[in-house]
Structure 1
Amino acid sequence: MATEVYIAGAAMTQFARHDQKSMQDLVQEAALGALSDAGLMSGDVQAMYSANVYGGMILGQVLVRDLQITGPALYNVENACASGATAVQLAKQALELGIYDTVLVWGVEALTQLGGGTIPLQRNDYKTTLYAAQGMTLPSVYAMRGMRYLHERDETPEILARVAVKNRAAGARNPYAQQQKEVTLEEVLTSRPVAEPLTLLQCCPSMVDGAAAVVLTTKRPASAKPVRIRASAVQSGHQELGCDDILDAEITARTAQLAYDQAGISPSEVNVVELHDAFTIAELLYYEALQLAPHGEGAALLRSGSTALGGRVPVNPSGGLLAKGHPLGATGVAQMVEMVWQLQGRATGRQVEGARVALTQCTGGGIAGVDHAASSVHILSV
């Protein structure tokens, strides 16, 4: 019989600009919150997994030193935007193998320390460095996908703006989100141009700090609604030879199918989703990659209201990256925190009623000739 892995505790800080807080402060707030939520003490933790992208060497040990949680194994995990979700998968594997029975996983980032602007492209890939020298940025990469989408699907920029309107409406109900203000279609479309067809309100805030943490255990929690990790999948991208389809999120589709197979469910059984909407076009592409909509019907799914709060399968009830913010290492863990709260009926103001099965999806990084460096999909249930 397979070992069951539960999320016994979940907590996060607000995603915001935290000028008066260090990364140690942020991690300690999230980690202690998760332990308290689980009803555990730091001495109950047998191992720790710390996810981060820009914090530097042995960051995890530095972050928990002042908590006096020293001695247990601590694993530092970096996998671009998928770092947090990857850390959860590694922790789950160790629990299933019986190496530990209770572990603490956190993700953290302090992007405001970078000073502003877009997140730097990969610098140790010589091809990507060449692209950066020619002015390539992540917004421009997604803008090309957006332009191609509008052309192939015979759509107008309004469909992209609808994603921002939906997610910022959800974010306005989430006290942990960086952006807590609803916006109109007109405000989105007329906000400052970034890279056609994307405007400022269609791009996730890149300058944001925050941390999130979860306690994973093989001991069934006493909660009335214990949350179980039904599936955990992480994949790397295939090399793309020749002229590739920039609208084909192959790595996410492949990872999602692995997760569905692990969980033994179909996409139609998912009740709520947190996905990687770094830019509005991404959400539309991931509707189809996650099989929430058939190929070519992502826009119709959005227009139907099915992915809004109150819809058939709400997507990004937290506000997603577009409203909540995207502190890279923390994002994958924060998605799971939101899903735990949703499944246990604790997402006040944005609750998806009756949710029993949740899915999180997070991609990470891009190197020349590969469709994303990493993709992760997790399925949780009560």
Structure 2
Amino acid sequence: MRKVAIIGIGQTKVDEHWNRTIRDLAGEAIFAALQDAGREEFEALFSGNMLSGLIDQQNNLGAVIADWIGFKGESIKIESACSSGGAAFRAGIMAIASGELDSAMVVGVEKMTDAAPTEVTSALATAADSDWELEQGISFVGLNALIMRRYMHEYGWKHEDFAPFSLNAHANATHNPNARLPYPITLDQFNNAHMVATPINLMDASPIGDGAAAVLIVPLENVRDNKGAVQITGSGAATDTISVHSRKAPLFLQAAYLSAQRAYSEANITPQQIDFFELHDAFSIMSALSLEACGFAERGQGPRLGLDNEITPKGGRIPICTRGGLKARGHPVGATGIYQIVETVQQLRGECGETQVAAAKIGMTQNIGGSGASILTHIIQII
């Protein structure tokens, strides 16, 4: 298998893009990635997207985006709920590593804000088990609230103990021009925010948005002298039961653990060597669970990292969400996994300004689909 590198990145601002279409957003990110790489073409296009058929009434999205940008090669859409971006990225990696392709563009794109909130909530809920969860009328935030409530009961945490995850994300987003919510929040704002599904309030939950991010990947052997290139050294994927109640350990992200272990093994590193972690903080409880599953905290002790100031870009043991994460950069679901990749490349290139992690050489991303059913982990490092 060949080694794979990223040579170009592009992204749009995550926002309410009322006057733009899903194809327009995808095209902007793709052309930005080409410009960044100094290239004009690629061999195949992999698009990560969850909701185009449900919200935009547009299936066959691969052909739609290809047509818009004037591309006539292979182009497919990959759907894996909120981990669609990560799944598309892994598909591109395998195509390059196998020798089937010598270049691939991977774009994650989502257009969510044109629909009514109730319609979006219903569409997102399709990432859960339609027979055993959706049928009972529970929303996606409701499922995460049940997990968080049980976690607090089992391990004795209070709601405010999760505040550092959100405060860190918002503090970092103030320095990200592409963030959806680029402003800081206080502990009082976190504690007094409107309750959505007890114990999850507005400050625990990530906002939806419209946006697209793209990366151009090629064989590493072709670009070793490219100063903007970084190497993909680990890629792991795993699944768990789609319904939370079917899991033997509902408070442990087994798929996160397995995908991370596979990525660590492929990269031949340990968690202690990771310089920063772009995790999937769709809800604050997921930050704690991801940190535990990936070996950065003991089970039930994820919030301790935030309380001990171990997650910040300046001096933290394991900085997370360095550009705002899902919580403040925003969560255009099918695009989120690629935003994480783009932001990791920015860190490794030293382009993150006030939230730059000093001497960052190895970054990790983790993209979660559903409430932990489909999880992809990637490790990227300086060549």
- TM, length-normalised to structure 2: 0.92
Counting only pairs closer than 5 Å after superposition, residues 95-174 of structure 1 correspond to structure 2 as: 95-117=96-118, 118=121, 120=123, 121-122=125-126, 125-128=129-132, 131-174=133-176
In the aligned structure 2, how far is the partner of 1:216 from the partner of 1:153? Answer: 43
Structure 1 position 141, deviation (Å): 1.0
| Selected match of 1:180 from 179, 182, 188 | 182
Unaligned runs of 5+ in 2: 54-58
Aligned-pair CA distance for 1:285 = 1.0
1:347 maps to: 352
Report Cα offsets for 1:324-375 as digits up to 9, x if no partner.
Answer: 1111111111100000000010123321121000000011025xxxxx3311
**Residue equivalent to 1:220:** 223
Per-residue deviation, 1:242:
6.2
Residue type of the partner of 2:229? P
Matched, 1:15 2:23: no
Aligned-residue sequence identity (percent) comes to 32
Q: How big is the alpha-carbon RMSD for the aligned residues of Structure 1 and Structure 2?
A: 1.8
2:128–2:370: 8 Å Cα contact kept in structure 1? Answer: no
Instruction: Tell me which amino acid in the other structure corresponds to 1:245.
Output: A
> Quick check: 1:273 aligned with 2:277?
yes
Helix, strand or coil for the counterpart of 1:113?
coil
In structure 1, C-alpha distance between the alignment counterparts of 2:60 and 2:66, rounded to whole Å: 11
Amino acid in structure 1 at the alignment position of 2:43: Q
Farther-moved stretch of structure 1 (147-156 vs 208-217)? 147-156
Q: Quick one: distance in 1 between partners of 2:204 and 2:246? A: 30
Structure 1 spans left out of the alignment, 5+ residues: 367-371
Amino acid at match of 1:244: K
Partner of 2:367: 362
User: What's the offset of the Cα at 1:230?
Assistant: 0.4
For the structure 1 residues 115 and 272, does the alpha-carbon distance in structure 2 shift closer, same or farther, using more than 3 Å as the test? Answer: same
Does the 8 A contact of 1:238 with 1:251 survive in 2?
no
Deviating beyond 4 angstroms after TM superposition, the runs of 4 or more aligned structure 1 residues are 123-126, 238-243
CA contact (8 A) 1:8 1:221 kept: no
Residue in structure 2 matched with residue 93 of structure 1 by the alignment: 94
| TM-fit CA distance, 1:275 | 0.7
Alpha carbons 2:236, 2:261 under 8 Å: kept: no
- The one of 247, 258, 262 aligned to 1:258: 262
How far apart, CA to CA, are the structure 2 residues paired with 1:345 and 1:123? Answer: 36
Q: Please name the residue that 1:309 is paired with.
A: 313
Query: What residue number does 1:38 align with?
Result: 37
Q: How many residues align?
A: 370
Partner of 1:369: none
CA contact (8 A) 1:49 1:106 kept: yes
Determine which structure has the larger helix proportion and give its number: 2
Q: 2:328 and 2:214 mapped to 1: Cα distance?
A: 20
SS in structure 2 at match of 1:127: coil
